[in-house]
Structure 1
């Protein structure tokens, strides 16, 4: 559960970083922020769903 929350916080910070870099017009930074949001966001949502619906953070299925 704590791993899902930590990765969710990383996702939120990546969103904020992407916004700041977009304002600076640093598109390389925006690209890395977008990749981070995609990877950490997917991992955090899947982890939290596994804990809530299946009672554990292990594999689903």
Structure 2
């Protein structure tokens, strides 16, 4: 599973192809969730609990 930050839609196959070029085959995510921006707190850290909520929806 990977979260992809993009304002424009990206196809799943394009993401998989890019991952295979840059990563080992077993590290390429099988699923992708596209979001417009990462949820951050005031200190600039990613709020992972909000990303987990997105997974459950």
TM interval, shorter chain, is under 0.3
User: TM-score of the superposition, structure 1-length normalised?
Assistant: 0.26
Which structure's residues are more often helix, by fraction? Answer: 1
User: TM-score of the superposition, structure 2-length normalised?
Assistant: 0.28
Structure showing greater radius of gyration is 1
Which structure's residues are more often strand, by fraction? Answer: 2
